[in-house]
Amino acid sequence: MSTSRGARQPTIKEVARLAGVSPMTASRTLAGGRNVRPDLQERVLAAVRELGYYRNENARSLRPGQPSGLIGIAITNLANPYYGNFALGVEEVAAEHGRRIILGNTGEDDARERQLVSDFIGRQVDGLILVPVSGDAAHLKPERLGEVPLVLASRRVPGLDVDTVLLDDVGGAYRGTVSLLDAGHTRIGFLGNRSSVFTGERRFRGYEQAMTERGVPVDPAIVARDQQDVAAASLAAKAMLDRDEPPTAIFSANNRNTIGALREIGRRIREGRSGPRPAIVSFDDFELSELMPVPVTVIDHDARLLGREAATLLFSRLDEDVAVPARTVELPVSIEYP
């Protein structure tokens, strides 16, 4: 087997010669195909197949000063379709720049995040994109990262002045809550994740702001802010709806809480129980929201675009003078009424 490990590998020049293209074109094709015509890419890949050529990325990265060609991403919950789309957006932009992504799931666990970041840095990633778990900045300081550029997505970390992509959490939550108040609701519950989570805090603030402006008190009895998954959200919705004075509407701060609330509402309907059928405002879209048994207003945004923006910030940082100050991009959200 002439192409097994350790045997001599054909060179990029041999690949280019067989494909009838320049070595630069062959090289660009293998780096992701940016600025290379599809027919030329196809010829290069045919030559690669013919010759059994593989670029040795690790050897390349070991030359001093050479990048590894890897971008590390740590996200909090890959089981949430939102983050699948986010990772896809990063992967697309990374591929356009000839990079690959190393992906890790933190599960909202501080220690796991520290371990992943340390591991990624040890692998000499070109850059890091992180949906941070907590407000602890110590392990994310530039000097702790060996000056590898870091972009935060969705959430900020206090005391860390780095490129960040956020959503308009406060404005979106405010407008969503106002839409419920405009519809005449005054007893509006809140479901969200831990307040230590940056987006949880911001979305609660938007809800609170709208309520306060209209002179409607926020009743702590129908505010539940500690649900990280669908099962916990269902239980929180159940407790709220079982009260003597249940909410007539619920603001849900993310799609895990929305799915949980709707699951509980659906259960009550199937069991033929009377009682509240609360209207829902959901931060985060979800599939088939239009088919729900109660009206669902969606505060929508594009997770894939968020991933693309995060990667774009990272690559502009890699290509630029590092002296540019940290930037924050806040992406707009749109409200979709039922």
Q: Measure the CA–CA gap between 84 and 75, rounded to whole angstroms.
A: 9
The CA-atom distances, in angstroms, between 289 and each of 259, 264, 281 are 10, 15, 11
Q: Site residues for a second copy, window 276-295 (CB under 8 A)?
A: 286-288, 290-293
Q: Between 203 and 268, name the residue whose CB sits nearer to a second copy.
A: 268
Q: Which of 165, 131, 156 is nearest to 328 (CA)?
A: 165
- Of 298, 305, 302, the C-alpha closest to 283 is 298
Of 27, 40, 97, 104, the residue at the interface with a second copy (CB under 8 A) is: 104
Query: Which residues lie below 8 Å from residue 67, measured CB to CB, with a gap of 6+?
Result: 61, 124, 126
How many residues bind a second copy, per CB under 8 A? 75
Of 294 and 326, CB closest to a second copy: 294
At closest approach, how far in Å is the CB of 223 from a second copy? 24
Q: How far is the CB of 15 from a second copy (least distance, A)?
A: 11
104: CB partners within 8 A, 6+ apart:
72, 73, 74, 75, 112, 116, 119, 120
Show contacts with a second copy in window 304-323 (CB under 8 A): 304
Which residue stretch of 114-122, 152-160, 209-217, 221-229 sits at the interface with a second copy (rule: CB under 8 A)?
A: 114-122
On the 0-12 / 13-18 / 19+ scale of CB atoms within 10 A, 287 is exposed
Cβ at position 220, least distance to a second copy in Å = 29
* Choice from 96, 119, 226, 336 touching a second copy (CB under 8 A): 119
Residues 127-166 that bind a second copy (CB under 8 A): 138-139, 143-144, 146-147
Minimum distance from residue 8 beta carbon to a second copy (Å): 12
Q: What is the rounded distance in angstroms from the CA atom of residue 156 to the CA atom of residue 245?
A: 36
- CB nearer a second copy, residue 171 or residue 266: 266
Q: Could you tell me where the beta strands, DSSP code E, fall in the chain?
A: 70-75, 100-105, 127-130, 150-153, 163-167, 188-191, 223-224, 249-252, 279-283, 296-300, 328-331, 334-336
Q: CB within 8 A of 112, min separation 6: which ones?
A: 104, 106, 133
Nearer Cβ to a second copy (100/187): 100
Question: What is the x/- site pattern for a second copy, positions 204-243, by CB under 8 A?
Answer: --------------------------x-------------
* Min dist. Cβ of residue 162 to a second copy (A): 16
Residue 210 or 279: which CB sits closer to a second copy? Answer: 279
Phi and psi, residue 100, nearest 5°: -115, 165
Task: Quote the tokens at residue 142.
Answer: 């530039």
Q: Least distance to a second copy from the beta carbon of 4, Å?
A: 5
Interaction residues for a second copy, span 44-103 (CB under 8 A):
45, 48-49, 52-59, 61-62, 68-70, 78-81, 83-85, 87-88, 91-92, 95, 100-103
